[in-house]
Structure 1
Amino acid sequence: MINPDRLLQRFLRYVRINTAADPQSQAYPSTESQRELGKMLADELTQMGLTDVVLDEHAVVTATVPSTIDGTAPTVALVAHMDTSPEAPSESIDPQVVESYSGGDIPLPSGNAITVSGCPDLEKMIGHTLVTTDGSTLLGGDDKAGVAIIMELAETLVENPHLPHGPVRIVMTCDEEIGHGTDKLDLQKLDATVAYTIDGGGQGIIDVETFSADAMTLIFRGHNIHPAIAKDRMVNSLRAASDFAASLPRDYETPETTDGRDGFIHLHDIVGGVGQTRVELILRSFDSEQLSVYADKVRELAEQATAAWPGMKLQCEVRRQYRNLADGLAKLPESVSLAEQAFENLGLPCQTAIVRGGTDGSQLTEKGLPTPNLSSGQHNIHSVLEFASLDEMVISANHLVELLKLWSEKRV
């Protein structure tokens, strides 16, 4: 029912548009290329025959596939984000299609290679159609795989009005990668009972718990003066920032040293000069209360580094990002159980999982709209070794068809 060739062409079309978010921008969306993709998607949805397609002033795209059943069923929202990570190159993305993957490492034109040792999931994908880049940029499968899946699903539903489903809201957001994916969504206007983000890795995984997350900015302010006359006058902010960075834990509480349910403090950006240096960190834990402990530790270390350099000044800011998905999903257990039932109906294995990150669903759930996260065939995300499995994308779309059928059997 799902058209794999059409799905592949959609995906290739979308990933060629560089929609990397810009964490330093004050605009929304943070990059105009997201609006470019939004316009493309809105045009395609209109061409499908949907009549309420909106590309709003924030470049968020919404539309509705009307119900095909008698009576009133819950409205289900399907959500993906158009932006991609700013943490890897994304200019001039050149997708490569590997048909009927035969196993082993995948050499890429840049000289890089996707290795089985680096991605053991490859062993399960013999015979799949895989999409990579040339190895010099990310692919953008996070989350254009989800975008393509939802778009192909929408067209499939329009073409097959015999498929039972209630109202289906299509939602494409911006700036998810920098924590602002749901900033411009009006949940009253969306009027959905449940939502699903199609933004997970692999196949058959239902993410039911995420990190809680805060961001932290430190600004070390010194005093710059010509080095020839700097004695007893220069206060070098780079020195304090460097001391602070060196004082952070090295063997624990870092992304490089944790897994499972362990949280971390992640130093990810230092920008500045003698007069002022800005340090950016993210704090992550499955226990929301642990975030304040991490923030206190960062602040204490920053104050110690500042005190070591007379005349240095420090500014600290903590920003709330999102909270653990599990807390809100408990209010609508069917959001998970029906997703599990849909996989069972299709004869496919599935598992619930925790995700060491966040999704638009984290914020949507916190705002009152229960939103689990579903697989979309992404692998090695945020990396020049990123790839996606078309076969897993097709399975995701077919799962959504069955899931929407199950929701249509509920009455409101």
Structure 2
Amino acid sequence: MKEQVIERLIRYAKIDTQSDFTSETTPSTQKQFDLLHVLKDELAAIGLTDITLDANGYLFATLEANTDKKVPTIGFLAHVDTTTDFTGTNVKPQRIDNYDGGAIQLNENLAMSPTDFPELKNYVGQTLITTDGTTLLGADDKAGIAEIMTAMEYLVNNPSIKHGKLRVAFTPDEEIGRGPHKFDVAAFGADYAYTMDGGPLGELQYESFNAAGVKVVTKGTSVHPGSAKNKMVNAITMAIAFQNEMPTDEVPEKTDGYEGFIHLMGFNGAIEHTELSYIVRDHDRQKFEAKKQLMLDAAAKIKAQYGEDALSITMEDQYYNMGEKIEPVKEIVDIARVAMEKLDITPITLPIRGGTDGSQLSYMGLPTPNIFAGGENMHGKFEYVSGETMEKATQVIIEIVQLFEQQGK
């Protein structure tokens, strides 16, 4: 099983599927179809049925039940796109067998050292798949795709393993927050689902951030600085004043766990016009709303000083903490936990400091916790994944479907 999942990851990683947040199409890049078409053919070759790939890049398939029991329909999801943070073009995965615990030479100019990345010590003796130091790897989330594919193939080839109806979905644009935007929950037809989109071994996540995007625009008046007294209004100065109203300790670099933040993502300024882009994150809905109100209050303060038209602020909620929707069906988390424990995996149930497709899908009526896929140092040139961890994730899928079947009546 390890060799199959590694082979799939390497093959998928070589296909460029980077999404594009500036695009208004779905999927945001047509090259995501390059992998989707490969996956569609592979699903058919494995023996899944009811395979559909729509114009928006959503690929669905079914593995029919092989039990007479009444069992919920369970879905497994992974996304095909890779992040916009780093190039995903011309990926050349490298395989390190029996990792010795030392520095890994990615290329002649770049090494990955356990001094800088101490998590490497967890993988001594294992098979690692790394980058060549010039691109990301794309284990986020091509490891998840490989694991789902390998699990489905195993179930098809081992019909003595009883399971209910299973649905598979491979989706676009997760990395730009649009993964579920055109996901047809009714057509998918699952009662519950799991995203295979987590990080290291044991991650099991059912709480995510509440999330919003905020854009602030300040407008000024440009006058020659030599004659600007009482005439110039500097939009940059206004923008700085707004940012200075933000709490200095509630930022990503100073928070972890359940602590939220207000993150200035972009600052593009000139005297006449300045734009600030923020993201707001908090697991607690009340604290989330309080952070947004703090920004509105700061905007009101700047307007009071410079005039109503001097500043505009727009906010858009992006997703909410999926824990609110999963809590009533917490048994789906418990089943995943038991599946891991049966495989001698210690579940790690930390909150997601981010979001997955499951964050939005849970609010669309499909409760969807997140399970580890194995990636480390994701979104960059030091990304890697362990073949043994991917094999374990594949086995977790197989255990989950058996546990649901065993609880059926």
| TM-score between both structures, scaled by the size of structure 2 | 0.91
1:408 shift after superposition: 1.5
Q: 1:108 to 1:5 in 2, by over 3 A?
A: same
The whole-number CA distance in structure 1 between the counterparts of 2:14 and 2:239 is 38
Deviations 1:220-256 (A, max 9, x none): 3345689899887765544433444455333x10000
1:303 shift after superposition: 5.0
Matches within 5 A, 1:391-406: 391-406=388-403
Q: Which residue of 2 aligns with 1:376?
A: 373
Q: Which residue of 2 aligns with 1:180?
A: 178
Contact 1:240 1:308 in 2 (8 A): no
1:149 shift after superposition: 0.9
Name the amino acid aligned to 1:371.
T
Matches within 5 A, 1:19-98: 19-98=17-96
Q: Determine helix, strand or coil for the equivalent of 2:336.
A: helix
The whole-number CA distance in structure 2 between the counterparts of 1:327 and 1:72 is 27
Deviations 1:73-100 (A, max 9, x none): 2110001111222122333322222111
Q: 1:171 to 1:223 in 2, by over 3 A?
A: farther
Q: 1:92 to 1:191 in 2, by over 3 A?
A: same
Q: Which residue of 1 aligns with 2:358?
A: 361
Q: Determine helix, strand or coil for the equivalent of 2:263.
A: strand
The whole-number CA distance in structure 2 between the counterparts of 1:38 and 1:272 is 40
Q: 1:105 to 1:299 in 2, by over 3 A?
A: farther
Contact 1:222 1:311 in 2 (8 A): no
Q: Which moved more, 1:160-169 or 1:227-236?
A: 227-236
The whole-number CA distance in structure 2 between the counterparts of 1:390 and 1:227 is 62
Matches within 5 A, 1:157-172: 157-172=155-170
2:6 to 5, 8, 12: 8
Matches within 5 A, 1:188-199: 188-199=186-197
Matches within 5 A, 1:302-321: 302-304=299-301, 313-321=310-318
Q: 1:161 to 1:114 in 2, by over 3 A?
A: same
1:266 shift after superposition: 0.9
Q: 1:271 to 1:85 in 2, by over 3 A?
A: farther
2:338 to 332, 337, 341: 341
Residue 133 of structure 2 corresponds to residue 135 of structure 1: yes
Q: Give the % identical residues.
A: 37
Unaligned runs of 5+ in 2: none
Q: Alignment length, in residue pairs?
A: 409
The whole-number CA distance in structure 2 between the counterparts of 1:247 and 1:384 is 35
Matches within 5 A, 1:193-212: 193-212=191-210
Q: Which residue of 2 aligns with 1:261?
A: 258
| TM-score between both structures, scaled by the size of structure 1 | 0.91
Deviations 1:286-323 (A, max 9, x none): 10121222122223334555666679632211111121
Q: Which moved more, 1:310-319 or 1:51-60?
A: 310-319
Provide the alpha-carbon RMSD of the alignment.
2.5
1:394 shift after superposition: 0.4
Contact 1:235 1:311 in 2 (8 A): no
Matches within 5 A, 1:116-127: 116-127=114-125
